[in-house]
Amino acid sequence: MKREPLYEGKAKRVYATENPHEYVVEYKDDATAFNGVKRAQILGKGAVNNAITAHLFPQLEAAGIPTHFIERLSDTEQRVRAVTIVPVEVIVRNVAAGSFSKRLGVEEGTPLARPVVEYCYKSDALGDPLINRDTAVALGWASEEDLGRIRELALRVRDFLTPYFAARGIRLIDFKLEFGKTPGGQVVLADEISPDTCRFWDAATGEKLDKDRFRRDLGGVEEAYAEMLRRVTSEAEGGKQKAEG
């Protein structure tokens, strides 16, 4: 089924298949931070991120958000629709953290009065700089119409995931999405949703259960990833659903 590797990123490998409309994505244990400056292996990360993404994407699809996901093939592999990735990373924030806190001098953990959508240019060479929608249109990365659809879908992902995680004892602080376009011109959610691409804080203790444990040398990295897989695949706890995150 898997043919030649097409692209090796920092966290995944993308393979061609005998079907030109489908790829196989293989999730690796490799972890990088600060635009590749810090590197390590996180044991079991590939399997956890594959499993979490494979668990969430069909539920997003069922909630009306088109995605690239087709099926999980193995511990670390999934079959997806081949898309042309829009070179814009979409960040959705419920609570101030990370680069937002740094840039604006807002203390990490400060709830935001409304969700904030930010856009970055997907460029390792430039360190994924913050852009706005005008920039993306002016430089031909996406149309105004596509960007409107992307924003709408990103907020719908947020509206699904925030209560989903709250019901499992997790505050969804922020997350990064990538979108792609099918040959037919449909905008679909692509890439992954995992502790590599989200900030997850334990609702009871405030403990970080995401890649910040690696970025900030907090220890217990493997354990945090394993715990997030457990939470994601666990049943919702009744009465815990709330919108804020």
Q: Is residue 127 within the footprint of ligand ATP (CB under 6 A)?
A: no
Please report how close the Cβ of residue 30 comes to ligand ATP at its closest, in angstroms: 8
The only residue of 44, 46, 115, 180 in contact with ligand ATP, by rule CB under 6 A = 180
Residues 150-179 that bind ligand ATP (CB under 6 A): 178
9 binds ligand ATP (CB under 6 A): yes
**26 is an interface residue for ligand ATP by CB under 6 A:** no
Nearest to 17 by CA among 9, 8, 25: 25
Which whole-number Å values give the CA distances from 165 to 23, 168, 171, 203, 204, in the listed order? 29, 5, 6, 9, 13
* Distance (Å, whole) CA 43 – CA 195: 14
Report 50-79 residues binding ligand ATP (CB under 6 A). 68
What is d(CA 234, CA 123) in angstroms, rounded to the nearest whole number?
A: 36
Q: What is d(CA 160, CA 111) in angstroms, rounded to the nearest whole number?
A: 18
Least distance (Å) from ligand ATP to the CB of residue 65? Answer: 14
Stretch that binds ligand ATP, among 10-18, 38-46, 112-120, 131-139 (CB under 6 A): 10-18
Q: How many residues bind ligand ATP (CB under 6 A)?
A: 19
Q: Which of 139, 243, 194, 209 is nearest to 29 (CA)?
A: 194
Instruction: Give the footprint of ligand ATP on residues 81-100 (CB under 6 A).
Output: 81-83, 85
Q: For strand 2-8 and strand 12-17, is the pairing parallel, antiparallel, or unpaired? A: antiparallel
Q: Which residues bind ligand ATP (CB under 6 A)?
A: 7, 9-12, 14, 23, 68, 80-83, 85, 122, 124, 178, 180, 190-191
